[in-house]
A and B are shown apart, each in its own frame.
Chain A
């Protein structure tokens, strides 16, 4: 698993170097390798209601930003942290623009643990509720949780990415999971993860 991930990372570095040298095919390969991952990142991070097409738009914006700032990638450093750094920038810009224009939905759902129905183990949870619950998490915990549970990063990789200890990464993920369960009204033991 670790070797596979390492091979994939090495391959991304090769694509990026070729892309910086002006190869269009390398850009297409980068897109093929990372578009879905980026879309999942934006879907998890973007506010509820703008998940669907906004996530795809943000992926396009990210690749445009990548194209404009492709010289800022310093080979042979790993490509993913660079790309997700740009993605975070694009997301921040998107949020500022949305806020400035006053277009974002005024969804003021407060986490109401007592008033919320308990979800039975195995019962379906609405993706919209999950996205909203994720949105309410502190950014640090949300990022760790998303990277681990959505993108499949190991805690070692997350710790290296954020320059924190492995224990701290696990703690953030565990606290995020606890908050998500509480927010969604899921009993502990319904599913462990």
Chain B
């Protein structure tokens, strides 16, 4: 039996559009494109809205050091999402669970450590307003980073777009929260877990929905182009 030959229609379609292409850079290198946006979230957000008034009491290591660790963790998870988006390089269920677990542990750990160092409750009667401010600030400031990482992921071909999107949403959320915790003077775990954690969760869901929608749109465009 001879080797299978390319059907004429397929060969024509390929030949019509056979320009040399440059392979995408490695996911870790592409994730570095997010570094300026991560820095903007880490420094720009609190610089714009004002630093937490108990920053000095927190100390540079607990304030800047821990926020930098959180931002780097976010960048690492965004890189993992870009890897997940490349066919054949999907993360195992253990790796995904590990990344999510590590992010959760880091976020909760930082919350408790901050509460231990400078316990600051929400002023009476301002719970909802404070929660809304922190949630809104984190989500709105995350939009540019979310758009860029979504674009980077869509340049590959995620076979599990919801997983890739949820991961890059998680990464972006962590980077944003690294800046928000330098602005928000409240360290009460209830506030941080609900408002800051809620923003991260929102970005996870937004990322999953965005990636799924983008891939469906790409698939529809491709099937229209093929027909």
Chain A residues with a Cβ under 8 A of chain B? 20-22, 24, 27-28, 31-33, 35-36, 60-61, 63-65, 67-75, 77-78, 80-86, 88-89, 92-93, 97, 162-164
Contacts and interface: CB of A to CB of B under 8 A. Distances in A.
A72 B218 CA distance: 15
B6 A31 contact: yes
A162 B87 contact: no
B24 A22 contact: no
Instruction: Give the top 6 A-B pairs by smallest Cβ distance, nearest first.
Output: A85-B87, A81-B88, A163-B92, A82-B88, A22-B20, A32-B3
A162 B12 CA distance: 35
Contacts of B21: 20, 22, 70-71
Interface in B5-21: 5-7, 9-11, 13-15, 17-21
Chain B contact patch, size range: 35 or more
B86 interface: yes
A27 B13 CA distance: 12
Contacts of A68: 222
A11 to B, nearest CB: 13
Given A64-B10, A72-B156, A163-B94, A32 B4 contact: yes
A85 B19 contact: no
Contacts of B91: 163
Contacts, number: 107
Interface of B: 3-7, 9-11, 13-15, 17-24, 26, 86-92, 94-95, 155-157, 159, 219, 222-223, 226
Nearest to B1: A36
Given A22-B19, A163-B94, A163-B95, A65 B157 contact: yes
A92 B162 CA distance: 13
Contact of A164 (B7, B89, B92, B159): B92
Nearest to B219: A93
Given A72-B24, A163-B94, A28 B6 contact: yes
Nearest to A17: B23
Contacts of A163: 91-92, 94-95
A163 B89 CA distance: 10
B92 A27 contact: no
A61 B9 CA distance: 12
B157 A88 contact: no
Contacts of B10: 31, 60, 63-64
